[in-house]
Structure 1
Amino acid sequence: MGPTSGTGRRPPALDEATLADVATNLWRARKKIAQSAELDSRAARQADRFLGSIEDDLALAGVVVQDHAGRPIGPGMPVEILIYAPQPDLERETVVETVRPSVLLNGRPIQTSQVIVGQPVDPTPTATDE
């Protein structure tokens, strides 16, 4: 028997949009903790472990969150590109920031990732190049 509310009735099943929101907020919380300068604190490490457990539970239920940061952009990549940003240190178009992650449910996308893509900058020709 599954969880019930105080009235004895089962809570409604989560719809895919709500499930994607939960997974996205979990992803954001973990990123915030990872970026925190106070990650050395016991409380931050404990919170990260709890969030990791939630992420593991979601994965067991078939929910997978994908952060595309650092991945090269290729044809058919299931992302929504919000903006292209010149990046002199890149050799090919690469996701430099994930604004919203992809969320999959049992291998099927229920949320498309939103990303910022870095583009290589062509070197400016100098007088000696001409």
Structure 2
Amino acid sequence: MTSLEIAIIVAIVLIIAVAVGWYLYTTFVASTTGQPRLNVVTATLYSNGTLKIFVVNPGPVDVQVSAIELAGQVQSVNQKITVGGNATLTAKFTGQWTPGTMLPGRVILSGGQSFPFNAIVKP
């Protein structure tokens, strides 16, 4: 093999390696940056209609909570949670609930993302 043939083969291998590296970067690294996340730790609905939700923002970006939905009812909430921070979200709902039961709901962010939870009803 001449040095020109070796240089061509090395160039082809290098181009393929760059293409595979770019594919892996865009698939696994770039797709996870900037996506808001929120962990709902506890959700408690008291018999007077007050809902308290304790949430944690694991990152990688700050989140802006815009609403809470519970059993079909939506209440506006305006709270920013920084990366690594936590907050207690509070909202008031109308209705009668049986203590000991659980109701489905979700926390809705300003960007439209939602994070589901089950709230337990306490007296």
Q: Counting strand residues as a fraction of each chain, which structure ranks higher?
A: 2
TM-score, normalised to structure 1, is 0.25
Give 1 or 2 for the bigger CA radius of gyration: 2
- If the length of structure 2 is used for normalisation, what is the TM-score? 0.26
Q: Which has the higher helix share?
A: 1
